[in-house]
């Protein structure tokens, strides 16, 4: 049976420290995405909770009951609309006050299919979060999917296992917002994401908060690394785009990618016994 196509609603909004306010925007977006025929709706990092040291001071004295209540209502709405939801939040732990920075993967029956916990946290984030230690894999309409969060993109080693597991579509959530102005993030974040997409043959939905000032907007990236759709920076919005695995894209790594992953870092003869090749100091 052929996989897909998969319709993705990629969202951005000005995430705040007010859970109920965030939940209202998220709920409205779920309804819009469903009405637009989307199979899955994707939200930014910390979309429901807000981001520590920016939207809220931290999780000391946090109202976890309110967070759970709003999360349960979002799950119920997902079931009512029969839509998948990739929701940025925080997951409370039993042995430490520092929760996971997570993405809940909510199925169209309203039940959590899985939860991804951010693997790599910035030094400032380690004051508030406990890093995770696992991948999450799931299928939507037969398309193998996974999720990652923001700073994870700085570690290319995280992406090769996705390729090995047959992942074709990645949902990566970000919180790069409420900054003073342009920064290195303007020049490197989406560009790095494009490189990961092209090197690992991935469709990538990038969802970022739009709180002013945001150095880059949410977008959808093809497996050849090209951005095919994007929202307006610093503006709330949603875009619905179709991922069709039948489409073919330029992939110069085809036939060589597995060789390099196996440790052979040349696609030439590995036993070339030519004196002029072996002499790397001569002209």
Containing domain of residue 123, as a range? 6-251
Residues in the chain: 283
Q: What is the CATH number of the domain that holds 176?
A: 3.60.110.10
In a domain, 145, yes or no: yes
Note whether 65 and 35 are within 8 A (CB).
no
In a domain, 200, yes or no: yes
pLDDT at 2: 56
Tell me how many domains the chain contains. Answer: 1
Taking residue 262's Cβ as centre, other Cβ atoms within 10 Å add up to: 8
In a domain, 272, yes or no: no
DSSP output for 87-142:
EEEEE--SS-S--EEEEEEE-TTSSEEEEEE-S---TTGGGT--------EEEETT
User: Can you give the pTM of this predicted structure?
Assistant: 0.96
In a domain, 275, yes or no: no
In a domain, 165, yes or no: yes
Note whether 170 and 146 are within 8 A (CB).
yes
Residues paired with residue 89 on neighbouring β-strands, in sequence order: 102
> What phi, psi does 251 have (nearest 5°)?
-140, 85
pLDDT at 269: 84
- Rounded Cα distance, 150 and 117, in Å: 11
In a domain, 256, yes or no: no
pLDDT at 3: 82
DSSP output for the chain:
-----EEEEEEE----S-HHHHHHHHHHHHHHHHHTT-SEEE--TTTTT--BTTTBS-STT--HHHHHHHHHHHHHHHHHHT-EEEEEEEE--SS-S--EEEEEEE-TTSSEEEEEE-S---TTGGGT--------EEEETTEEEEEEEGGGGG-GGGTHHHHHTT--EEEEEE---S-SS--HHHHHHHHHHHHHHHHHT-EEEEEE---SS-SS--EEE-TTS-EEEEPPTTS-EEEEEEE-TT-----TTTTTHHHHHTT---SS-TT---HHHH-TT--
Per-residue pLDDT of the chain (283 residues; tens, 9 = 90+): 458 899 999 999 999 999 999 999 999 999 999 999 999 999 999 999 999 999 999 999 999 999 999 999 999 999 999 999 999 999 999 999 999 999 999 999 999 999 999 999 999 999 999 999 999 999 999 999 999 999 999 999 999 999 999 999 999 999 999 999 999 999 999 999 999 999 999 999 999 999 999 999 999 999 999 999 999 999 999 999 999 999 999 999 999 999 999 999 999 887 889 999 989 999 9
Strand 219-221 relative to strand 84-91: parallel, antiparallel, unpaired? unpaired
CA dist 113 → 216, 265, 277 (Å) = 30, 38, 54
In a domain, 271, yes or no: no
CA of residue 124 relative to chain centroid, distance: 20
In a domain, 258, yes or no: no
């Amino acid at each position: 049976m052929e996989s897909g196509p998969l319709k993705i609603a990629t969202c951005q909004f000005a995430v705040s420290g007010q859970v109920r306010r965030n939940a209202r925007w998220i709920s409205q977006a779920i309804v819009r995405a469903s009405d637009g025929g989307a199979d899955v709706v994707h939200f930014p990092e910390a979309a429901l909770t807000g981001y520590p040291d920016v939207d809220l001071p931290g999780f000391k004295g946090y109202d976890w009951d309110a967070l759970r209540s709003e999360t349960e209502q979002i799950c119920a709405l997902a079931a009512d609309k029969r839509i998948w939801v990739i929701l940025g939040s925080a997951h409370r732990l039993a042995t430490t006050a520092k929760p996971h920075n997570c993405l809940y993967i909510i199925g169209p029956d309203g039940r959590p299919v899985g939860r991804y916990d951010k693997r790599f946290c910035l030094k400032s984030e380690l004051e508030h979060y406990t890093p995770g230690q696992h991948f999450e894999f799931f299928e939507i309409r037969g398309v193998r999917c996974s999720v990652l969060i923001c700073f994870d993109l700085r570690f290319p080693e995280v992406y090769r296992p996705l390729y090995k597991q047959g992942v074709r579509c990645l949902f990566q959530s970000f919180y790069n917002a409420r900054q003073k102005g342009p920064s290195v993030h303007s020049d490197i974040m989406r560009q790095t994401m494009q490189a990961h997409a092209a090197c690992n043959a991935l469709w990538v939905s990038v969802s970022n908060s739009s709180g002013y000032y945001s150095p880059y907007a949410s977008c959808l990236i093809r497996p050849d690394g090209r951005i095919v759709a994007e929202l307006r920076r610093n503006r709330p919005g949603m875009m619905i785009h179709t991922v069709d695995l039948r489409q073919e894209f330029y992939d110069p790594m085809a036939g060589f990618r597995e060789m390099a992953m196996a440790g052979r870092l040349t696609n030439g003869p590995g036993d070339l016994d030519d004196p002029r090749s072996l002499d790397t100091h001569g002209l």
